[in-house]
């Protein structure tokens, strides 16, 4: 370590000084090798003075007189040793050969009093070995250090926010990083500001703007995993104002025990700003319908379905049935969960099946007799369902009904439907179909079913397929613009893990027919979300006031069926539950006998794709559904054009 520590000061010396150091080294090597040559010849160490019969000083003077001019003329002192390769080594060997020939001529061929003739052969050999070894050592010692220092100098300069244990561990992990270079810490603790940690200064966050200019800081690494969401948001607000990219470590709950690794760092996600401090889960509710039971999840490969499966697996069922119609999605989630199983004795069964196939669904129910079913399978992309209404209704309504009736027939105790805020006063087919699915379960529950049917309604989840977050992130990576349908569009957001956890707990509270509504916090304007995402990458918004900005936001207009604001309740009388973030809605529905009759009529219209009748029936069934006056079903539009 000491040699490595000294390498950088040596490399920092002026070139002239470095050459003088090398010349001095060669002078020492000439002297040393003459002395060693005398020892090898005589078998004893001789004095370098001339008071004896032996005269090593004369041999040393001749070595200096020959070696230094030959090495200088051979450009040995102009070579950069840390870069020395075969060509440089060949130059050294050539110079040493000339030296050896001259030195041997003087002492071996002609001879000199007090110097044995064999010295003329032994000394050049020794000098050659020492000179080559010294150059190789210099290349090994200085070359690696120089390359490391040079590369480190070119790395992005970063500051670590948080001078605590986590910050120190992160700095240690980045000490030899090839990705970034830590130049200091940020911390608002007065007793720490101005101190040194790991040899790096600790600055106050208020100095960040100056540091960006004076030190060329490109990123701030947030290393305070134990702080609250509110504190983190306050810090992130300061960072985004400074126009610096921010990366963060996971929360304390997510970090693996032990030292922090550079792989723990991740790009700052938008949920770091929009998310909330998690409410500790109720263990009794989490385990009630899952622990040591057979659990079936439809739509297991989707965003919500796959997260449900992850959390269910952690709780510990005896068997987890993954039902999915997409082969690739099923393969992916099964492979992921199989790695998590390790030594857990849980049967993990991947099952290809469509929820619309009554025979297949009953076949699965009969084979495993699940205790609990989480029904997450649905077509949920508003524009796609609007353009393909018959398929959307067939999957979302009749697919739900198929799974629900099969569950009731095969003794499933608890059935939980994953619903959406778009089911409230819907303006699109997707939302209306989900509300009709809710009504079907409410009617079945009201018809005296032994299965506890319940549904959990919530808004958008961050990072799910179809979410604006991954779309905006990709558009930012591509250099923009970010496309937004309307500047006033507003949505509720929740993280996928929080949503899945609340779904499990809500389902455990069901007694039959409940519509649970999750507390989604405050609604978020999508244009504000887009601005936040631009700022979190250290870029700037490009608009009329900032024409030199990096990313522009482009307004494209509302899509068919899309509305500006989403709601979570149809009625205005939600009831609290034992969980602070789960409410119980009081939603009206049709009795099963009446609803079933109307569903049969709707099914007949679906079978002939009578879109006008389908939308009319949907409007009659779903209270508050405001259908678009224009039919945008692709098949209907194409058929109309041909006629």
Compute how many other C-beta atoms are within 10 angstroms of the C-beta atom of residue 166. Answer: 21
Please give the backbone phi and psi of residue 512, each rounded to the nearest 5 degrees, phi first. 130, 110
Question: How far is Cα 329 from Cα 336, in angstroms, rounded to an integer?
Answer: 11
Helix 15-42 and helix 56-73, axial crossing angle in degrees, nearest 10: 140
Joined together, the tokens standing for residue 155 give 């790395």
CA nearest neighbour of 238 among 553, 442, 536: 536
In the block, residue with structure tokens 């947030």: 222
Beta bridge partners of 414: 372, 452
Joined together, the tokens standing for residue 598 give 């109307």
Question: How far is Cα 315 from Cα 292, in angstroms, rounded to an integer?
Answer: 9
Largest CA distance in the chain: 128
What is the per-residue burial (b if ≥16 Cβ within 10 Å, else e) of 307-334? bbbbbbbebebebbbbbbbeeebbeebb
From 293, 422, 434, 563, active-site residue: 422
Question: How far is Cα 93 from Cα 76, in angstroms, rounded to an integer?
Answer: 10
CA nearest neighbour of 273 among 586, 640, 8, 529: 529
What is the per-residue burial (b if ≥16 Cβ within 10 Å, else e) of 380-415? bebbebbbbbbbbbbbbbbbbbbbbbbbbebebebb
Please give the backbone phi and psi of residue 29, each rounded to the nearest 5 degrees, phi first. -65, -40
CA nearest neighbour of 561 among 413, 429, 366, 369: 429
- 230 is known as an active-site residue: no
Instruction: Write the DSSP assignment of 597-628 as a string of letters.
Output: HHHHHHHHHHHTT-HHHHHHHHHHHSTT----
Task: State which H helix or E strand residue 493 sits in.
Answer: strand 493-495
354 neighbors 599 (Cβ within 8 angstroms): no
Question: How far is Cα 393 from Cα 350, in angstroms, rounded to an integer?
Answer: 26
Instruction: Write the DSSP assignment of 555-592 as a string of letters.
Output: E--PPTT--S---S-SSS--EE-SSTTEEEE------H
CA nearest neighbour of 582 among 493, 495, 504: 504
184 neighbors 211 (Cβ within 8 angstroms): yes
Cα–chain-centroid distance for residue 384? 29
233 neighbors 524 (Cβ within 8 angstroms): no
Compute how many other C-beta atoms are within 10 angstroms of the C-beta atom of residue 110. Answer: 10
Compute how many other C-beta atoms are within 10 angstroms of the C-beta atom of residue 8. Answer: 13
- Residues classed as catalytic: 422
């Amino acid at each position: 370590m000491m040699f490595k520590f000294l390498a950088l000061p040596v490399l920092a010396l002026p070139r002239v000084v470095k050459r003088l150091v090398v010349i001095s080294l060669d002078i020492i090597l000439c002297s040393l090798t003459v002395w060693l040559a005398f020892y090898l010849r005589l078998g004893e160490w001789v004095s370098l003075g001339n008071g004896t019969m032996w005269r090593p000083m004369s041999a040393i003077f001749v070595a200096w007189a020959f070696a230094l001019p030959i090495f200088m003329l051979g450009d040995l002192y102009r070579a950069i040793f840390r870069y020395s390769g075969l060509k440089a080594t060949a130059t050294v060997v050539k110079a040493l050969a000339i030296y050896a020939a001259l030195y041997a001529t003087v002492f071996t061929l002609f001879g000199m009093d007090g110097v044995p003739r064999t010295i003329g052969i032994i000394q050049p050999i020794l000098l050659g070995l020492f000179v080559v070894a010294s150059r190789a050592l210099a290349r090994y010692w200085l070359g690696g250090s120089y390359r490391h220092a040079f590369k480190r100098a070119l790395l992005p300069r970063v500051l670590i926010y948080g001078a605590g244990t986590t910050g120190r561990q992160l700095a240690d992990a980045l000490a030899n990083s090839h990705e970034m270079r830590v130049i200091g810490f940020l911390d608002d603790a007065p007793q720490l500001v101005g101190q040194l940690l790991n040899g790096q200064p600790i600055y106050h966050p208020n100095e960040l703007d100056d540091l960006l200019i004076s030190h060329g800081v490109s990123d701030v690494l947030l290393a305070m995993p134990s702080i609250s969401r509110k504190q983190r948001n306050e810090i992130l607000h300061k960072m985004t104002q400074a126009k610096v990219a921010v990366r963060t470590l996971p929360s304390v709950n997510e970090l693996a025990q032990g030292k922090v690794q550079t792989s723990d760092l991740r790009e700052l996600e938008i949920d770091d700003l929009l998310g909330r401090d998690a409410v500790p889960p109720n263990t009794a509710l989490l385990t009630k319908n899952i622990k040591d039971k057979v659990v079936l999840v439809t739509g297991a490969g989707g965003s919500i379905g796959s997260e449900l499966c992850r959390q269910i697996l952690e709780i510990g069922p005896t068997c987890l049935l993954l039902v999915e119609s997409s082969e690739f999605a099923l393969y992916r989630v099964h492979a992921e969960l199989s790695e998590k199983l390790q030594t857990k004795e849980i049967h993990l069964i991947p099952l290809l099946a469509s929820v619309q196939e009554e025979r297949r669904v009953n076949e699965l129910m009969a084979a495993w007799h699940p205790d609990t079913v989480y029904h997450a399978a649905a077509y949920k992309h508003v524009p796609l369902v609007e353009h393909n209404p018959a398929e959307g209704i067939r999957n979302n309504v009749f697919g739900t009904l198929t799974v629900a009736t099969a569950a009731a027939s095969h003794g499933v105790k608890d059935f939980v439907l994953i619903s959406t805020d778009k089911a409230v006063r819907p303006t699109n087919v997707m939302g209306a179909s989900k509300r009709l699915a809710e009504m079907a379960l409410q009617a079945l529950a009201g018809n005296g079913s032994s299965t506890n049917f319940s549904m959990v309604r919530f808004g958008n989840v961050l990072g799910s397929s179809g979410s604006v977050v991954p779309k905006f992130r990709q558009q930012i990576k591509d250099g923009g613009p970010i496309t937004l349908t309307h500047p006033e569009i507003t949505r509720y957001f929740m993280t996928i893990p929080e949503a899945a956890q609340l779904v499990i707990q809500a389902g455990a509270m069901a007694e039959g027919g409940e519509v649970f509504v999750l507390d989604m916090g405050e609604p978020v304007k999508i244009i504000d979300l887009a601005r936040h995402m631009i700022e979190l990458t250290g870029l700037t918004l490009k608009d009329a006031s900032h024409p030199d900005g990096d990313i522009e936001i482009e307004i494209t207009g509302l899509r068919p069926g899309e509305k500006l604001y989403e709601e979570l309740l149809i009625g205005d009388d939600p009831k609290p539950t034992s969980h602070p973030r789960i409410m119980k809605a009081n939603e009206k529905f049709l009795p099963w006998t009446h609803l079933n009759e109307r569903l049969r009529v709707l099914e007949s219209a679906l079978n002939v794709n009578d879109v006008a009748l389908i939308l009319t029936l949907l409007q009659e069934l779903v209270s508050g559904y405001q259908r678009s006056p224009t039919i945008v079903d692709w098949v209907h539009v194409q058929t109309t054009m041909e006629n």
